[in-house]
C-alpha cells in the first residue's frame, strides 16, 4: 500500500525538493512519474484534483463522480466560433486524471496519421517500428486486450447489425482492462478495479518506488532561472471550500508538465514562456463527437455490457470514425427533447434505447486562452470540411439504426423530435444551424504540439520546450495532429518515449 | 493479475464529506421552478419531497463542481427563466403556472437559447433520475450505475 498525500489538510507553506516534479497525474504524468521513479529518480507528482481510492468509485453515483472526479462537473465548454457548435469538452480532475474516467478504449496511432507526421511535419523518425518498444511497454502495463463479442451490450449489437447491413466493417475494440465484467460504468470510475487506468497501474508503481503524490495541489507557475526550469510553485486547496490558499514550492532539477491539453499551455503562458513560434495554446484538435439514440421495440438495457466494444473505420477516408458507447439512463433522459409529461414518457423508454457515437478526425482550430481566473477559455473554429461532415455522421448513424430495426431515432439536433425513418430521411440536417447541434469531445489535443522546429511547434519530439532547459511536456497537448481515434494509448506511448529519453539524459549541473 | 497482488494507492477518501461552495438562493429558486415544470405530469408537479431531495443534490453538485460550473449554471438559468419567457411574449417564470412554464421551456428548446436549456436540463435530469423512485420509474435497477454497487475487488481485498 502506497500513500497519496492530500494538501487539503496541510497547513502553512510547503517546500519540497526533488529530482523531477511532474505536474498532473493523468495519462501522461503517471507514465513519466513511474518510469523515472523506477529508474531511481526522486519524483514528486502534483495533482490539482482530489484523491479517490480505486476501491471507492463504486460508492459514488454517476452524479457524485461528475462532481468529484470530472472537471467542472463536466460543464466545460469550448465556445464555437463562426459556423461551429459549442462543444462540451470533458476532462478528469482527480489523481489519475482523465484516465480514470475513460471507456478504456485503446488505439495505436493510425498508420495514415503517422505518415502525415513523417511527410508533412518532418518527423521521419516516428515510424511504427520505432514506436514499437514504447507501445509494447504501455500495452503490457495497462493490459490492453480485445473486448470479446459476448461482452457487447445489446445497444452495440443493434448498431453493429445495422451498420454491417449497410456495408460498414465493424471491428472489436481493444481496451485496457483486466477482469472486466462488462458492467458499463467505466466513465464514472471502475468499481471493480478492472479498468487499468493509471491510478491502478503506473501511479502505484511510481509510489512503490518512492514517488510522492500530492492531491489537491494547484500548480500556478513554473519557476525559471533564465531559460532553465528549476521548480514549480502554486497553492494548496486548503482554503475554505477547498479554495487555493497556502503556497507551496517544489524545487527540482527537471520539470515535466502533464496537466493536459487545456492546462499545460496555460501554465507555460503564466510562466512567461511563449516561445518564438507563439504556437502555445493554438492548434487544438478535439475530435468533435455526436451521438445518435435509437428506440427499439424490444428491451435493450444498453447499460449492461462493456461500454465501448465495437467501432468502424470504414469511413476514415472521409474523416469519420463511428464508435460504440453508452451513457447512464439519467444522462440519456437529459438528452431527450420535451418537457413535463412528454419528457417523462420518453425517459420511461430508456430501457429500449440504444446509442452510438461518431467522431470527426478534425483539422483543428481550437485555442486555449488565459481566462480571468484559474480556468482557461477554450474556443474552437471548425474547418469547413469538418463542418460539412456533421450531417454525414448523423445520417450514417441514423440509417444504421433503422437498418437494425429502430422505430425512432433522437438526433443530436437540439429540440428536434424523435423521428421515424421517413421523417429522418426528409429532415434537412444540412441546413441546421451549428448552435442547434449538440456536440461533445473527450479528446482535446495539440495545444503544445511537438515538431521539428521552434518556428512551428512548442516542444521537440522528446517533449522539451523549445529554447528552455530542463522543461518538458508529456501529455495530450504534445500530440501534433488529430488522431481520428481515442488518444490515451498514443499519449502514454509518447510519454514513455519522453521518459526513456529523460532517464538517459543527465541533469544540468 | 488480481488487485490484491498489485500495489494500490491509499489515502484519505473524503470528497463526499467536503463542504460544497454555497449556491445562491436565486439559482436554487429558478432551478426548482424549472424542475417542477420539467418533471410535471399534465396537472401536477413532482412531490415536494422529491424536489427537496433534488435541490439538496443540486446544491451539492454545483457546490462541488467549481466556480465555473456554478457560473455556467447560474447564467444558463438566467437565460432560460428571464430571457426565455420573452420568447413566449411573457415576463417572469417562477410565478407562472406549470403549463405556462412548460410552454416557455418549449419555446426555449426550439429557439436561440437551446444550449442554455440543454445545460440546465442535463444537470436537473441527471440528479432527478438518480432518486431511487424516479430511477425505478424509468426502468431501474441499473446494476453498477448506483452507489454501493457490488465490487469484486472490494470483497476480495477485504477478505
Ligand atoms: C469521459 C472521458 C472518456 C474518455 N475515454 C477515452 C477512451 O476510452 N480511450 C481513450 O483513448 N481516451 C479516452 N479519453 C481521453 C483520455 O482520457 C485523455 O486523452 C488522456 O487521459 C489525456 O491525458 P493527459 O495526460 O493529457 O491529461 P489528463 O489525463 O487529463 O491529466 C491531466 C491532469 O492534470 C491535472 N492538472 C491540470 N492542471 C493542473 C495544475 N495547474 N496543477 C496540478 N494539476 C493539474 C488535471 O487535474 C488532470 O488530473 C476520455 C476522456 C474523457 C474525459
Ligand atoms: S465495464 Fe465495468 S468492470 Fe468493465 S472496465 Fe468498465 S466499469 Fe470496469
Q: If you write DSSP's letter for every residue of A317-355 in order, what string do you get? A: GGTEEEEE----HHHHHHTS---THHHHHHHTTGGGEEE
Same domain, A269 and A156: no
Determine the distance in angstroms separating the CA of B130 from the nearest CA of chain A, rounded to an integer: 7
Cβ contact (<8 Å) for A341 and B42? Answer: yes
Per the listing, cell 427499439 goes with A296
Per-residue model confidence (pLDDT) at position A366: 98
In order along its 509 residues, chain A shows pLDDT tens digits of 568 999 999 999 999 999 999 999 999 999 999 999 999 999 999 999 999 999 899 889 999 999 999 999 999 999 999 999 999 999 999 999 999 999 999 999 999 999 999 999 999 999 999 999 999 999 999 999 999 998 899 999 999 999 999 999 999 999 999 999 888 889 999 988 999 999 999 999 999 999 999 999 999 999 999 999 999 999 999 999 999 999 999 999 999 999 999 999 999 999 999 877 889 999 999 999 999 999 999 999 888 888 789 999 999 999 999 999 888 888 888 888 999 999 999 999 999 999 999 999 999 899 999 998 889 999 999 999 999 999 999 999 999 999 999 999 999 999 899 999 999 999 999 999 999 999 999 999 999 999 999 999 999 999 999 999 999 999 999 999 999 999 999 999 999 999 999 999 999 98
Pairwise CA distance, residues A307 & A187, whole Å: 9
Q: In whole angstroms, what is the distance from residue A447 CA to residue A366 CA?
A: 8
Q: Work out the widest C-alpha separation in chain B, in whole angstroms.
A: 65
User: Containing domain of residue A351, as a range?
Assistant: 148-175+286-366+382-441
- Domain match, A241 and A341 both: no
Whether A133 and A240 share a structural domain: yes
Three-state DSSP class for residue A356: strand
Provide the pLDDT for residue B141. Answer: 74
Instruction: Please answer yes or no on whether B7 and A191 come within 8 Å at the CB atom.
Output: no
Chain A contacts of B68, Cβ < 8 Å? 72, 75-76, 375
Q: How far apart are CA A369 and CA A97, in angstroms?
A: 21
**What's the CATH number where A338 sits?**
3.30.410
Q: Indicate the top mutation candidate among A105, A307, A308 to test ligand 2's pocket, ranked by most ligand atoms within 8 A of CB.
A: A307
Which of A418, A441, A464 is a domain's end point? Answer: A441
- Domain total for chain A? 2
Pick the atom of ligand 2 nearest to A193's CA.
Answer: 8
The alpha carbon of residue B72 is apart from the nearest alpha carbon of chain A, in Å, by 7
Residue A411 lies in a domain: yes
Q: Which residues of A touch B125 (CB under 8 A)?
A: 330-331, 333-334, 347
Chain B CA closest to residue A199? B9
Residue nearest to atom 37 of ligand 1 (CA): A259
Residue whose CA is closest, atom 4 of ligand 2?
A180
Is A456 domain-assigned? Answer: yes
To the nearest whole Å, the CA of A492 is away from the closest chain B CA by 20
A240 CA → ligand 1 middle, Å: 26
Q: Under the phi-then-psi rule, with left for phi > 0, alpha for psi from -120 to 50, and beta for the rest, what region is A468?
A: beta
Helix (H) or strand (E) holding B159: none
Cβ neighbour number for residue A432 with a 10 Å cutoff:
19
Close Cβ partners of A225 (under 8 Å, ≥ 6 residues apart): none
Q: Which residue, by CA, sits nearest to atom 27 of ligand 1? A: A260
Which stretches of A56-110 are DSSP H helices?
62-68
> B interface mutation test: which of A73, A140, A192, A439 has the most B CBs within 10 A?
A73
Q: Verify that A429 and A454 share a domain, yes or no.
A: no
Shared-domain flag, residues A488 and A361: no
- The rounded Å distance from CA B57 to ligand 2 centre is 26
Which of chain A's residues have a Cβ under 8 Å away from the Cβ of B1? Answer: 178
The answer to whether residue A334 is domain-embedded is yes
If asked whether residues A208 and A302 sit together in one domain, one would say no
- Residue of A4, A59, A86 with shortest CB distance to B148: A59
Whether residues A454 and A411 share a domain: the answer is: no
Contact A341 B41 (CB under 8 A): yes
Determine which helix (DSSP H) or strand (DSSP E) holds A367, and give its type and residue range: strand A366-369
Instruction: Name the minimum distance, in Å, from the CA of B92 to any CA of chain A.
Output: 18
Q: Do A340 and B14 touch (CB under 8 A)?
A: no
C-alpha angle B125-B128-B133 in degrees, rounded to nearest 5: 135
Domain end, chosen from A441, A466, A488, is at: A441
Interchain pair A66, B126: CB under 8 A:
yes
Residues 6+ apart with CB under 8 A from A110: A313, A316, A483, A484, A485
Q: Distance between CA atoms of B98 and B90, rounded to whole angstroms?
A: 14
In whole angstroms, give the CA distance from residue A118 to residue A98: 28
A509 falls within a domain: no
Q: CB count, 10 Å around CB of A148?
A: 12
Q: What is the DSSP secondary structure assignment for residue A21, as one 8-state letter?
A: E
Q: Give domain limits for chain B.
A: 17-128
Q: Please classify residue B83 by burial: count the beta carbons closer than 10 Å to its beta carbon, then call 0-12 exposed, 13-18 middle and 19+ buried.
A: middle
Mutation for A interface: B11, B50, B157, most A CBs within 10 A: B11
Task: List the residue whose alpha carbon is closest to atom 14 of ligand 1.
Answer: A102
Verify that A296 and A386 share a domain, yes or no. Answer: yes
CATH number at residue A484: 3.50.50.60
Cβ-based contacts of B45 with chain A (< 8 Å): none
CB A404 within 8 A of CB A165: yes
Secondary structure class of A295 (helix, strand, coil): strand
- Looking at the fold, whether A12 and A47 belong to one and the same domain comes out as yes
Give the one of A52, A188, A203 whose C-beta lies nearest to B13's C-beta: A52
Interface with chain B: mutation pick from A196, A199, A215, A334, highest number of B CBs within 10 Å: A334
**Inter-chain contact B143–A183, Cβ cutoff 8 Å?**
yes
Please list every residue in chain B whose beta carbon sits closer than 8 Å to the beta carbon of residue A56.
Answer: 13
Do A211 and A293 lie in a common domain? no
Using the CB atoms, write b or e for A316-330: b if 16+ within 10 Å: eeebbbbbbbbbbbb
Say yes or no: A137 and A244 in one domain.
Answer: yes
What per-residue confidence (pLDDT) applies to A182?
Answer: 86
Please check the confidence at residue B159 and state whether its pLDDT lies above 90: no
* Mean pLDDT of the region B51-65: 96
A494: Cα separation from own chain's centroid:
15
| Gap between the Cα atoms of A48 and A94, Å rounded | 7
Exposed/middle/buried for residue A430 (C-beta within 10 Å: 0-12, 13-18, 19+): exposed
A69 part of a folded domain: no
Nearest-angstrom CA–CA distance, B137 and B99: 22
The verdict on A291 and A258 lying in the same domain is: no
Amino acid at each position: 500500500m502506497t500513500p497519496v498525500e492530500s494538501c487539503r489538510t496541510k497547513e502553512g507553506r510547503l517546500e519540497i525538493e526533488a529530482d523531477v516534479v511532474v505536474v498532473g497525474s493523468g495519462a501522461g504524468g503517471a507514465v513519466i512519474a513511474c518510469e523515472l521513479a523506477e529508474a531511481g529518480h526522486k519524483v514528486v507528482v502534483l495533482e490539482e484534483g482530489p484523491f479517490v481510492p480505486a476501491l471507492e468509485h463504486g460508492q459514488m453515483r454517476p452524479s457524485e463522480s461528475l462532481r468529484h472526479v470530472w472537471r467542472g462537473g463536466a460543464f466545460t465548454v469550448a465556445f464555437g466560433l463562426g459556423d461551429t457548435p459549442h462543444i462540451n469538452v470533458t476532462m478528469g480532475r482527480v489523481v489519475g486524471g482523465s484516465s480514470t474516467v475513460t471507456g478504456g478504449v485503446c488505439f495505436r496511432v493510425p498508420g495514415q496519421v503517422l505518415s502525415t507526421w513523417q511527410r508533412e511535419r518532418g518527423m521521419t523518425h516516428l515510424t511504427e517500428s520505432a514506436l514499437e518498444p514504447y507501445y509494447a511497454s504501455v500495452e503490457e502495463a495497462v493490459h490492453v486486450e480485445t473486448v470479446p463479442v459476448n461482452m457487447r451490450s445489446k445497444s452495440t449489437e443493434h448498431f453493429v447489425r445495422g451498420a454491417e447491413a449497410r456495408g460498414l466493417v465493424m471491428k472489436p475494440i481493444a481496451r485496457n482492462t483486466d477482469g472486466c465484467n462488462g458492467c458499463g460504468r467505466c466513465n464514472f470510475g471502475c468499481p471493480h478495479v478492472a479498468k487499468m487506468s493509471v491510478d491502478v497501474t503506473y501511479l502505484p508503481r511510481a509510489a512503490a518506488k518512492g514517488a510522492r503524490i500530492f492531491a489537491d495541489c494547484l500548480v500556478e507557475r513554473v519557476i525559471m532561472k533564465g531559460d532553465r526550469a528549476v521548480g514549480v510553485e502554486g497553492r494548496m486547496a486548503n482554503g475554505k471550500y477547498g479554495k487555493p490558499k497556502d503556497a507551496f514550492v517544489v524545487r527540482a532539477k527537471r520539470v515535466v508538465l502533464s496537466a493536459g491539453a487545456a492546462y499545460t499551455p496555460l501554465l507555460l503562458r503564466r510562466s512567461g514562456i511563449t516561445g518564438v513560434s507563439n504556437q502555445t495554446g493554438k492548434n487544438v484538435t478535439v475530435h468533435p463527437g455526436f451521438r445518435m439514440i435509437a428506440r427499439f421495440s424490444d428491451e435493450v438495457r444498453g447499460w449492461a455490457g462493456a461500454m465501448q466494444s465495437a467501432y468502424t473505420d470504414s469511413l476514415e477516408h472521409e474523416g469519420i470514425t463511428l464508435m460504440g458507447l453508452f451513457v447512464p439512463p439519467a444522462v440519456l433522459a437529459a438528452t431527450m427533447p420535451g418537457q413535463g409529461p412528454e419528457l417523462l414518457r420518453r425517459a420511461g423508454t430508456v430501457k429500449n434505447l440504444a446509442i452510438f457515437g461518431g467522431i470527426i478526425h478534425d483539422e483543428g482550430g481550437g485555442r486555449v486562452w488565459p481566462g480571468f481566473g484559474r480556468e482557461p477559455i477554450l474556443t474552437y473554429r471548425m474547418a469547413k470540411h469538418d463542418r460539412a461532415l456533421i450531417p454525414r455522421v448523423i445520417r450514417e448513424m441514423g440509417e444504421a439504426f433503422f437498418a437494425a430495426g429502430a422505430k425512432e431515432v433522437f438526433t443530436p439536433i437540439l429540440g428536434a423530435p424523435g423521428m421515424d425513418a421517413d421523417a429522418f430521411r426528409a429532415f434537412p440536417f444540412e441546413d441546421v444551424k451549428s448552435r442547434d447541434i449538440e456536440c461533445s469531445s473527450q479528446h482535446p489535443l495539440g495545444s503544445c504540439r511537438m515538431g521539428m522546429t521552434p518556428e512551428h511547434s512548442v516542444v521537440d519530439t522528446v517533449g522539451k520546450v523549445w529554447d528552455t532547459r530542463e522543461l518538458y511536456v508529456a501529455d495530450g497537448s504534445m500530440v501534433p495532429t488529430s488522431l481520428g481515434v481515442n488518444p490515451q494509448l498514443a499519449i502514454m506511448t509518447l510519454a514513455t518515449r519522453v521518459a526513456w529519453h529523460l532517464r538517459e539524459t543527465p541533469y544540468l549541473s | 493479475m488480481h488487485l490484491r497482488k498489485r500495489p494500490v494507492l491509499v489515502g484519505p477518501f473524503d470528497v463526499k464529506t467536503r463542504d460544497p461552495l454555497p449556491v445562491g438562493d436565486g439559482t436554487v429558486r429558478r432551478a426548482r421552478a424549472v424542475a417542477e415544470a420539467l418533471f410535471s405530469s399534465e396537472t401536477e408537479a413532482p412531490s415536494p419531497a422529491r424536489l427537496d431531495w433534488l435541490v439538496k443534490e443540486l446544491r451539492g453538485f454545483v457546490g462541488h463542481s467549481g466556480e465555473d460550473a456554478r457560473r455556467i449554471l447560474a447564467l444558463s438559468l438566467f437565460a432560460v427563466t428571464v430571457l426565455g419567457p420573452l420568447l413566449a411574449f411573457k415576463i417572469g417564470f417562477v410565478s407562472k403556472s406549470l403549463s405556462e412554464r412548460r410552454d416557455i421551456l418549449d419555446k426555449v428548446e426550439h429557439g436561440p437559447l437551446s444550449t442554455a436549456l440543454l445545460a440546465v436540463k442535463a444537470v436537473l435530469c441527471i440528479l432527478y433520475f438518480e432518486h431511487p423512485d424516479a430511477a425505478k420509474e424509468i426502468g431501474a435497477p441499473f446494476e453498477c450505475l448506483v452507489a454501493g454497487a457490488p465490487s469484486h475487488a472490494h470483497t476480495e481485498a477485504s477478505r
